[in-house]
Amino acid sequence: MGKIVAGVGSSHVPSIGSAFDQKAQESPEWKPLFDGYKPAKAWLKEKEVTHAIVIYNDHGTDFFFDKCPTFAMGAAEEYPIGDEGWGIRDLPTVKGDLDFSWHLANSIIGESEFDLTICQEMVMDHGLLVPLPLLFDFEPDWGVKTVPLHVNVLQHPLPTPNRLWQLGQAIRKAVESYPEDARVAVIGTGGLSHQLHGNRFGHMNENWDQEFLDMIEDDPKKLIDIPHDVWMERGGAESVEMIMWLGMRGALTQDVNKVHRSYYMPMLTGMGITVMEDKVASAA
């Protein structure tokens, strides 16, 4: 049977991917970031995660504004690594699970009435590729099968935070009705505070980032009524993508065991990771 064994929130800042590829993990400016992921990766390995559902957004890798799905989920055996302009990163093709993806589609669309676009071909973007190798083994091949779930957080109108929460609940229902064995990590990506345009470029807000991390862990429902404007005002316009973490959090129990958290704010973006699990899961 399918079971959600972990929830992870993670930034997906592209410079993390560049530093990773340049093997800058031990450099003084990057060590705090990469060290923050080590306990997360070790714990996920201990939990024997088989599948990762990754809620992320494409940034002009496979989707453009000509056709811009609000929610799009992959249903393929594999997902190629995209070229975002700077070449293709040296990572193995992301492995999917056709049967699991179509089960999720049938449940989320057919039972939870959540109208996803289903993609049988989907090219992977840094939104997913930055956190994935920090959380799971990938050499010589990926240790998990992945379901990419893209959310439009670029072109307004965006889905509401509450809609992300509902998506998380639909994901939970779908995973728990999967008849095969699957130990699933749901991963919400993006943020934290940053603004990349206008003369407010470079805006960051550590206080808000920490408050957000507290709320996503302890009181996530307080986040679902916050309008997009307020997210943008507090964390910077591009930080509104933090609503994607609610897709992860909505898939977990109200109370969670907090496993790990790390935060680093070097240059343009607050970088956060939080790892949690259902409260009941550890008691059992």
Partner 1 sequence: MSKETGHSDHIPGTFVFTGKRSAKGLKLNKFAYSLAKAENREAFGKDPVAYMDTFGLSDWEKQKIIEKDVKALVEEGGGSIYMLIKIGAVTGDGLASMGAQQRGETLEEFMATRNVPLKQNT
Q: Is 23 in the site for partner 1 (CB under 8 A)?
A: no
Residues, the chain = 284
Which residue out of 12, 51, 126, 260 is catalytically annotated? 126
Order across the sheet with 51-56: list the strands: 117-119, 71-74, 145-151, 51-56, 182-189, 2-10, 271-278, 256-264
Only one of the segments 59-67, 96-104, 132-140, 212-220 lies at the binding site for partner 1 (rule: CB under 8 A); that segment is: 59-67
Residue 194 appears among annotated catalytic residues = yes
Does 226 sit near partner 1 (CB under 8 A)?
no
Site mask, partner 1, residues 241-280, x = CB under 8 A?
Answer: ------------------------xxxx------------
**In the block, residue with structure tokens 């179509």:** 102
Region at 155 (left for phi over 0; alpha for psi -120 to 50; beta for the rest): beta
Stretch that binds partner 1, among 43-51, 130-138, 153-161, 178-186 (CB under 8 A): 153-161
Has 59 been annotated as catalytic? Answer: no
Q: Please name every residue paired with 262 in a beta bridge, in sequence order, or none if there are none.
A: 273
Question: Nearest approach, Cβ of 272 to partner 1 (angstroms)?
Answer: 15
Query: Does residue 192 contact residue 271 with C-beta atoms inside 8 Å?
Result: yes
Report the distance separating Cα 8 and Cα 245, nearest Å: 8
From 92-100, 163-171, 228-236, 249-257, give the range in contact with partner 1 by CB under 8 A: 228-236
Q: Judged by CB under 8 A, does residue 25 bind partner 1?
A: no
Of 106, 115, 227, 254, the one binding partner 1 (CB under 8 A) is: 227
Q: Which of residues 230 and 280 has its CB atom nearest to partner 1 in the complex?
A: 230
- Do residues 276 and 252 lie in contact, with contact meaning Cβ atoms separated by under 8 Å? yes
Q: Are strands 182-189 and 94-95 parallel, antiparallel or unpaired?
A: unpaired
91 binds partner 1 (CB under 8 A): no
Q: Which two tokens stand for residue 257?
A: 């065991």
Q: Which of 2, 84, 130, 260 binds partner 1 (CB under 8 A)?
A: 84
Give yes or no for residue 121 binding partner 1 (CB under 8 A). no
Residue type at 108 in one-letter notation: I
Closer CB to partner 1, residue 29 or residue 181? Answer: 29
What are the structure tokens assigned to 32, written together? 């705090």
**Residues 108, 53 contacting (CB under 8 angstroms):** no
Torsion of the alpha carbons at 50, 57, 86 and 12, rounded to the nearest 10: -70
The only residue of 74, 82, 148, 168 in contact with partner 1, by rule CB under 8 A: 82
- Between CA 278 and CA 10 the distance in angstroms is 18
d(CA 144, CA 237): 33
Q: For the CB of residue 227, give the shortest distance to partner 1 in the complex, in Å.
A: 7
The contact mask relative to partner 1 for 161-190 (x = CB under 8 A, - = no) is ------------------------------
| Catalytic annotation, residues | 126, 194
Query: Contact positions toward partner 1, by CB under 8 A?
Result: 15, 18-19, 22, 24, 29-30, 59-61, 64-66, 82-87, 154-158, 160, 195-202, 227-229, 232-233, 237-238, 265-268
